[in-house]
Amino acid sequence: MGLKSAWLVVVFLFLGVAVAKNVNRLNVWPMPKWVSRGHNRVYMSLDFQLVTDGSKYIDGSGILKDGFTRMLDVVKVAHVVDGDLSSVDKSLIIKGIHVLIFSPDDQLQYGVAESYKLLVPSPEMPDYVHLEAQTVYGALHGLQTFSQLCHFNFTTRLIEVHMVPWTIIDQPRFSYRGLLIDTSRHYQPVPMIKKVIDSMAYAKLNVLHWHIVDIQSFPLEMPSFPKLWDGAYSVSERYTFSDAAEIVRQVILLYAQRRGINVLAELDVPGHALSWGYGYPSLWPSKDCQQPLDVSNEFTFKVIDGILSDFSKVFKFKFVHLGGDEVNTSCWTTTPHIKKWLKEHRMNGSQAYQYFVLRAQKIALSHGFEIVNWEETFNDFGNKLSRKTVVHNWLGGGVAEQVVASGLRCIVSNQDKWYLDHLDTPWEEFYKNEPLTNITNPKQQSLVLGGEVCMWGETVDGSDIEQTIWPRAAAAAERLWTPYDNLAKDPEQVAGRLAHFRCLLNQRGIAAAPLAGLGREAPIEPGSCYVQ
């Protein structure tokens, strides 16, 4: 073992012992806005109940009920809870949770209220937990937090809540807290996408950015243009449109929506689209020069219109991502028929790139979407972009500052800090990355919607995606949720709490990697989860 590895073991051994042996420390991730706690203990009833008396939310779709059931499942962590409560003081037994939701609406959209207040126990009803929220999605976050306060006692075989009374008042710092997954570089089975959604909810991330197609494959069936998925890797590595509707309406509305998570669909144009041409070769500039999509062909824009029309039927998030990054126009300027078209329209390659992006934006707007584009579009012709554009920063620092100064909105994903496929970026760098760096004007700060960690798929499939995402994505999740003044200035101050959360993910069936080392590393030797 090298000196660095030995040092890491010592550090995490110390932290792990502190976490494992002291159940009375504050182990909530991400850190709430405001917390007060006591020194006592209560026990959950064996028939812990959900009560909603006085709530304006009737839960006709079952979102709250399902969230409550999931909370009980993860609290029990698959153990048999069959302890004897007969000898426990009845004043120490919590019968259930009283959830009070003020809005009857459960429409999930960007900017939905996510705040909550959690009291354990309730001052008015001491035998109940009290949870109140403006919306059901705030209540779901409150249930997640409550689940982290609960502990299974292996001696008594009961669920206990330590350090009562608890008062937690909480709300997110940013409304957009995203995770990108890439199903083009490697196909991700629907059950794995669902597991990723589960894990996002545990960390209070709320946008799944689905990078569906790219150069390598086009796995999604499009009813408007059914040959597009000829670009899939194989006939079994596909999503039917019914699957997509299932992913969106069932996995997302009855799965992700039930976890407070929006889905941002991405259609990256005009580059990153080689796979489109396997079904429709006329989308290629030529058979020997296959991307970007042929800007001179009206059929190209007819296909984009058809795809976005199909998207609008299932993806209900207000935004759609149109990509626009890494566009090399040499195929346009060297292919004879496109070169002729450029000359007729008095355009060079750069001007044609602008034309393509702006025309795609107009199509998206016609289908009711607002637009997200990668930052190259802003860098090259920012003053021409629709004012409904959100610029997605990825190349580096300083761009967000320029975007909001221009009056446009921004999402931060700078690759040097928040790209999960960069395995040499440790969790500490994910934690320290600040979306509002050098942005001090309050109005401009409000234009930063939030941030997103990106799990590009070149080296991940269903076998390793979870341990590549976690726990580093959790470090960014706290940066995006927790008030700035509550964030640790030195990431090592939260290492023990993050190690505890990583072990909690493992207990819930999520394959989160150890903190020690870089991304996706395996444990270096036998030992407790808390010391890795």
Reduced to 3 states (helix: H, G, I; strand: E, B; else coil), residue 50 is strand
3-state secondary structure 76-108: HCCCCCCCCCCCCCHHHEEEEEEEEECCCCCCC
Q: Could you tell me whether strands 93-101 and 409-412 are parallel, antiparallel, or unpaired per DSSP bridges?
A: unpaired
326 assigned to active site: yes
Q: What are φ and ψ of residue 376, in 5° steps?
A: -55, -35
User: How many angstroms separate the CA atoms of 288 and 320, rounded?
Assistant: 31
Provide the greatest CA pair distance for the chain.
89
User: How many angstroms separate the CA atoms of 190 and 246, rounded?
Assistant: 10
User: How many angstroms separate the CA atoms of 365 and 202, rounded?
Assistant: 33
User: How many angstroms separate the CA atoms of 264 and 275, rounded?
Assistant: 21
Q: What are φ and ψ of residue 255, in 5° steps?
A: -135, -70
**Which one, of 413, 488, 483, lies nearest residue 173 by Cα?**
483
**Which one, of 454, 450, 458, 452, lies nearest residue 469 by Cα?**
454
User: How many angstroms separate the CA atoms of 179 and 477, rounded?
Assistant: 9
User: Quick one: tokens of 37?
Assistant: 């706690």
**Which one, of 168, 346, 368, 353, lies nearest residue 271 by Cα?**
353
User: How many angstroms separate the CA atoms of 91 and 227, rounded?
Assistant: 66
Which residue pairs, CB below 8 angstroms and at least 24 apart, start in 223-226? 223/310, 224/303, 224/306, 224/307, 224/309, 224/310, 225/279, 225/280, 225/303, 225/306, 225/307, 226/279
Q: What are φ and ψ of residue 400, in 5° steps?
A: -55, -40
Q: Per DSSP, which regions of 322-376 are E strands?
A: 370-374
- Residue 314 vs residues 246, 364, 372: alpha-carbon distances, Å: 9, 14, 18
* Catalytic annotation, pick one of 114, 266, 326, 458: 326
Catalytic residues: 326
